[in-house]
Amino acid sequence: MRTGFLFILLFSLFSCNSTIKEAEEFANPILAGFYPDPSICRVGDDFYLVNSTFSYFPGIPVFHSRDLVNWKLIGHVMDRAEQLDLEGQGVSRGIFAPAIRYNKGVFYVTCTLVDIGGNFVATAENPKGPWSNPVWIPEIDGIDPSMFFDENGKAYILYNSIPPDNKPLYDGHRTLRMYEFDVQNKKVLGEEKIIVNGGVDITKKPVWIEGPHIFQKDGYYYLIAAEGGTAEQHSEVVFRSREVDGPYEPYSNNPILTQRHLDPKRENPVTSTGHADFVQTESGEWWAVFLGCRPYENDYFNTGRETFMVPVTWKDGWPIINFGKDEVQYHYPLPAGASLKTSALKFSGNMKIRDDFQDGELNKNWMFLRTPKTQWYDLKKKPGFLSMQLRPESCSGTGNPSFIGHRQQNLKGEASIAMNFLPADENEKAGLLIFQNENHFYFLCQSLRGSESIIQLFKSSSSTGSMELLAAEIINKDQSDKELFLKIEAKGSIYSFSFGFEPEQWSLLKDSVDAKYLSTKAAGGFVGCIYALYATSLGKPCDTEAYFDWFQYTGNDDIYKRTGAKDDNK
């Protein structure tokens, strides 16, 4: 019996004693796959977390948890076309680095909409939404805005900005600046102030100070920020001051978080750590969330920048991230009072996820590539199926194609679909896509070649937007009207592509296809790979539809299967 978005937990592979030990730990990343730039706040017993979404829609997911371990996606800040029109934007443009805060019954999300409107604030009384339309803050010349509500009742907005007088001393020279903020009228007040110039030590030419947050503790204002860029040199640094506008003293042992000094050949590395935010639980524990990457080889990773969480301790008035350990761990003891629970939606560890499209509306976890302008998909036309119109738009362009995506959340795993599709022309193609950006993807699809029905595997061009045929298999006439099953399997540095006409009876179309081509290192940008249900007529109008019966995603990373390690999906 099919049951909508069904999440199946993997059976335990370990002994009872191991299971008891594992139940005391949570798995990193807490949000696996493309969930970068986390920001977090607490309201009573509730925690809320947001991430960047760049040119995917809806924008800015809002997660909720009662214990920092079991997370649920409850909505999005930008879920209406009037709020977020991404037409024409590259995949890694759009929504940059939101920050979430709460004050006197109102939630605030500040963010940058790159290339379109600049910096804005959106508000809601309920974090599930609806959220207001963005209120633009034109005075801010920069990115990564974050609100701070002082204990004295004043509010401030701080952000990354240009060097003093817009005269950089070196490449990557930036400043952190702030305005007082009128929360009633959502406008800046007074004069802009520079609170950090360059970074921890400007004589050492620090680059890309950004992602600032301020919080108060024991009579100090603490300012945390990322430094070093978002690649392997990424880090998190901290300053403190007795006054909100400084002067800010840097910690002598900065950075408080980085992995850049570690052996790149270490086992199961986490790299590029930074862009952190802190939260304190009601029991007094401090935790940091931050982005990190999991390369499968050298600096190659396809899962994008993910959300990790580690404990924070305090020594001599300064925060110590990660209990002073060098390496970010894949498993940590649970926060006080937390326990791992079976959830409707798992975001960490190994997982098995299936959507049978029974609910009448799409699960919140699906993503569109840019903002849909028309209703080109339907869940009611043929009950139990997701129907998608083939349209001229393609994923190689900068419009909104017939594309519904799910993040690749594991280095090893697979995505598969069941599909009913009768193409009428060679340009009509539908199937399963593994997508990094407009010029870096693989497309496993059904189409026509002349009068013959055919399964094809295409590789995108890295520059022209065209596609190269890598493999093809003619569908026998007695199978042409059968339901088609397609599968893409990730194995770290390679993908394999298979098809079938009976459940779990797969025929290999092509193995050992280069996954590095879709890595951030090769493709660039700030996003991760997306498995997508995709249907296109490649520039020509048509009336054809594809019907997707189900989608299934399975993740099987080795780190969660080793003896003594914890698999978060038992």
Say which amino acid occupies 199.
G
Tokens matching residue 20 = 């008891």
How far, in Å, are 179, 223, 552 from residue 559 at the CA level? 45, 34, 22
Q: Which helix (H) or strand (E) holds 543?
A: none
Check if 37 is active-site.
Answer: yes
Could you identify the residue written with the tokens 């207001």? 132
Say which amino acid occupies 179.
Y
As a whole number of angstroms, the distance between CA 26 and CA 566 comes to 8
Catalytic residue among 22, 67, 79, 210: 210
As a whole number of angstroms, the distance between CA 299 and CA 525 comes to 14
Torsion of CA 391, 373, 442, 541, to 10 degrees: 10
Q: What is the largest CA-CA distance in the chain?
A: 78
Say which amino acid occupies 166.
N
Burial environment of residue 203 by CB neighbours within 10 A (0 to 12, 13 to 18, 19 or more): exposed
**CB–CB of 65/340 below 8 Å?**
no
As a whole number of angstroms, the distance between CA 194 and CA 248 comes to 11
How far, in Å, are 1, 91, 352, 455 from residue 487 at the CA level? 22, 24, 14, 12
Beta-carbon contacts of 210 under 8 Å, excluding residues fewer than 6 positions away, are 97, 143, 144, 160, 174, 176, 225, 226, 227, 275
SS (H, E, C) 158-201: EEEECCHHHCCCCCCCCEEEEEEEECCCCEEEEEEEEEEECCCC
Catalytic residue among 37, 236, 567, 568: 37
**CB–CB of 445/459 below 8 Å?**
no
As a whole number of angstroms, the distance between CA 50 and CA 42 comes to 12
**CB–CB of 369/395 below 8 Å?**
yes
Q: Which helix (H) or strand (E) holds 17?
A: helix 16-22
Give the chain's end-to-end CA distance (angstroms, integer): 22
As a whole number of angstroms, the distance between CA 198 and CA 164 comes to 10
Reduce the DSSP state of residue 479 to 3 states and report it: helix
Phi-psi region of 479 (alpha: psi -120 to 50; beta: other; left: phi over 0): alpha
Tokens matching residue 404 = 């519904």
Q: Which residues are catalytic?
A: 37, 210
